[in-house]
A = this chain, B = another copy of it.
């Protein structure tokens, strides 16, 4: 039989009389390979130094395994120790808390859990691009540093090259005025949709909010498609197709890693993904959703009333219990939504929509945008925004304005939904949170 070569890291070593087992993994997939090293094989004498975490280079033959747990194993013809890891290696074969693993974010991708998480993250990122590129959407890199803000989206980080007092002479800063990290690429995305018709963004966004929850990070990746000549219906169609496609892609391309999540993280993973793939989305106006919640007989922690935002518990009730399907809620009261959403003819609601899925609630939020110049100006006045700060955004309504719509979703929230991992810090390679910019 032909010889094969394996290069990877030792996960475990078990020594028996006359031979040893090594489990070697190179991170390319969940499962490592079992290597049998008989006494006398070149390199057998260095096995005592092949601790967990060591890197090795194995040459041998693939043979049917005698043991249980794997179909094949490698009968080593030669073992080379590439890089030692002594017993101070922090990722020993034993249970570690997620909190501890965050302190060794440079090593945790060598564990089964984080290998699976970050392979899934990579494949789903590609799935996002494939979804939009197949539909001829143009990928736009909207700016990270900006002097605008996407009103209401959240607190911003300042970006500066000044020393000392940064408020004294902002005009002498690098960009000639105060600059910030973007909270959303939507407004810039709209300018490209009003030129290329269908576009999407996929890039990092930032919130300087001092909130230490399992769902918030200061730096995360957002996906924001935007379509010209598109109304709220078309927007809901795309959002629903997108969520279904992501769940389907995960089922098809991440099966091993999902099985790991189902076993060790969240046993409902497969049910949840199939739920989203198989069931048609229900669409319900906000006011009806409020009525359903009021009549539910449930006691919710947060109040339910027209004019209040839906909380996660309300959203989950709608999708998991009432409709037993994914749900898109639309037409929200204008008071609780940003200035750029299109006012409906009832003059009370705007064309907002949120897609709700089991397990987490809202996963996508979007809207048709206000394309009418005078109405947009009126919205901006209500929100106390100065037109001169948004001159280029207003220009889109001045020159060849078109109905257009889009949505946004946080990539990490999508990953939490797909994997069952419940803390956002554990789906980001190096999470940034208050007090934490290590690595």
Contact = CB atoms under 8 A, between A and B. Distances in A.
Contact of A82 (B53, B121, B177, B402): B402
Interface stretch (A125-133, A318-326, A328-336): A125-133
A281 to B, nearest CB: 26
A238 interface: no
A176 interface: yes
A7 interface: yes
A53 B399 contact: yes
A107 interface: yes
B159 A195 contact: no
B197 A28 contact: yes
Nearest to A412: B141
A27 interface: yes
A249 interface: no
A399 B54 CA distance: 6
A283 interface: no
Interface string A418-439: 0000000000111010111111
A144 B219 contact: yes
Contacts of A139: 121-122, 125-126
A118 interface: yes
A118 B157 CA distance: 28
Q: Among A143, A146, A210, find the residue whose CB has the most chain B CB atoms closer than 10 A.
A: A143
A165 B162 CA distance: 10
A91 to B, nearest CB: 8
Given A28-B198, A122-B139, A159-B159, A400 B9 contact: yes
A164 B107 CA distance: 38
Given A144-B204, A147-B438, A54 B175 contact: no
A306 to B, nearest CB: 33
Interface in A39-93: 53-55, 57, 82-85, 89
Interface residue range, chain A: 35 or more
Contacts of A403: 82
A375 interface: no
Nearest to A110: B195
A164 B163 contact: no
Nearest to A120: B138
A174 B122 contact: no
Contact of A140 (B203, B397, B429, B434): B429
A174 B218 contact: yes
A245 interface: no
Nearest to A29: B136
Contacts of A160: 157-158, 160, 166
A164 B161 contact: no
A174 B136 contact: no
Contacts of A229: 7, 57, 82
Nearest to A202: B125
5 contacts: A83-B397, A141-B428, A164-B167, A175-B437, A203-B203
Report, nearest first, the 9 A-B pairs whose CB atoms are least far apart. Answer: A83-B401, A27-B196, A109-B195, A175-B437, A106-B392, A122-B139, A106-B191, A55-B400, A85-B399
Given A145-B432, A174-B434, A175-B436, 8 more contacts: A10-B400, A121-B139, A126-B129, A141-B221, A146-B437, A164-B165, A179-B437, A203-B203
